[in-house]
Structures are given as structure tokens and as C-alpha cells.
Amino acid sequence: MMRLNKYLALCGLGSRRKSEVYIQSGSVAVNGNVVQSLSQVIDETNDIVTVKGQPIHLPDKLVYLLLNKPKGYVTSAHDELRRKTVMHLIPDDYRLFSVGRLDKDTKGALLLTNDGALAFRLMHPRFQIDKIYHVTLNMPITIKHIQKLMSGIMLDDGITHQCDVKVIGKDYRTIEMTLHEGRKRQVRRMLQALGYQVTDLVRTQFAVLTINNLKPGEWRFLTNQEIAQLKSLAPGKT
């Protein structure tokens, strides 16, 4: 359901204000009945909307955006516990969903799109899309444990695949992990299995997309080049 003026604007009739002028002038009909109320709400999937007798439709526009997710937001579209969701941070003009998830307390790169086919492929284990995490630990990590992380850790859903680990901080409390798979809470669980606690977790990169130049809570549309790169990393029919 959405307001008629918003629907007209999304169909390309101009701003919401301009759409209101069409409504007030009696040019807009919903299911054959002229509507002049600005508060009219429509069912965009079933109602037939005409402007000056011509049916109009929502464009099949595919939208791709990258959000630098801040801490404290859940990734799901609706949260039963009414917690803040990432959907509050992005435009609500498109029905976007996230490609994979980040925990409530994880920050960083989150791709949102309405391109279901590409989203499905990017999440599919077959394509092994790289995800790079900057991980801060409660205590210094040992070389032996770094080697274990890289070669595979037994978790309750099976052994993790080979991954890359680099030490960033001189104190051995910050590391960069590059995972080629994406299981639930994977970074936290891998480190927990070795006796560490993750005190801060940031996904700095998802596939080719980095959060450089985006402050927490900020988002941007992908460039055409980035969309093409994602499609070549996870090729498919659409």
C-alpha cells in the first residue's frame, strides 16, 4: 500500500508535489474512479491507476546501493522486537533487501538491492564472494591460532573453508580476515572457538565494494561499473 502521490512520482510523473497537482485537477483515476483526495492510498500491485485516461505503471527499475551499516541496527526488514533496522537508513521508495546479513553490532559494507537474481547468486556458496573484516579482539592472538583460522575451524555447522588472515595491529589485537563464504556470525564463532571475544567487527569490503568515503549510516548508489563487476563475479542468465 502507498500514498497515491508517491506512486505517481515513482511512476515518473515528477515530484510528489507535481503529482498532487495532477490529483487535484481531477486527472487521476483509481480503478475507474476519479480521485481528488491527496490522502488517497492505493494497492500498487492490484489497483489500476490512470492519468488522463492512460494507465501508468511502476518502472521495473533495478536499484543497487551500498550502506555503511552502523552498530545497533538489525539487517532484517521488519523486526518483531521493534529494533532499529537498516531499512530506516535508506530511501523507502524501492523495495530493497540486503544481500546477506550483518549482526546488530557489526558495522560496515552492506549491499541492498531489488535485483533478486543477482542477490541470490552473490550469496550462493558456489561463487565464493570475498568478504573482508577488520576484527578487534579482547586479547592478542597467537601465530598458532592465526594458522588455525586460516586452515579451518570446526563449528557446529561444519568446518570453515580456508581463509586469509593478516595481523594489522602491532599488539596483535586487530586482524583482517578475508572469508570466501558467509555463515551466520561466522567471524565471531570462529574466534570464540579459539577462546577470543570479538570486541569490534567491521566489514570493510564486500566483493569489490568498499566503505571508503562513507561514514557510518551513509549510503550511495553503485556505479554502473561496480554493478557490471558484481555480475561478472557471479554470472548468470539475468
Q: Least Å distance between CB 186 and ligand URA?
A: 4
Q: Least Å distance between CB 91 and ligand URA?
A: 23
- When asked if residue 174 is in the footprint of ligand URA (CB under 6 A), the reply is no
Q: How many residues bind ligand URA (CB under 6 A)?
A: 8
25/197 with CB nearer ligand URA: 197
- When asked if residue 204 is in the footprint of ligand URA (CB under 6 A), the reply is no
> In degrees rounded to 5, what are phi and psi of residue 237?
-70, -35
13/187 with CB nearer ligand URA: 187
- When asked if residue 99 is in the footprint of ligand URA (CB under 6 A), the reply is no
Q: Least Å distance between CB 105 and ligand URA?
A: 8
- Residue 59 to residues 66, 114, 216, Cα–Cα distance (Å): 21, 12, 30
Q: Least Å distance between CB 103 and ligand URA?
A: 4
Return the active site residues.
103
- When asked if residue 67 is in the footprint of ligand URA (CB under 6 A), the reply is no
Q: Among residues 68, 98, 113, 186, which is the contact residue for ligand URA, using CB under 6 A?
A: 186
Q: Among residues 5, 19, 27, 106, which is the contact residue for ligand URA, using CB under 6 A?
A: 106
Please give the residue ranges that form the binding site for ligand URA (CB under 6 A). 102-103, 106, 185-188, 201
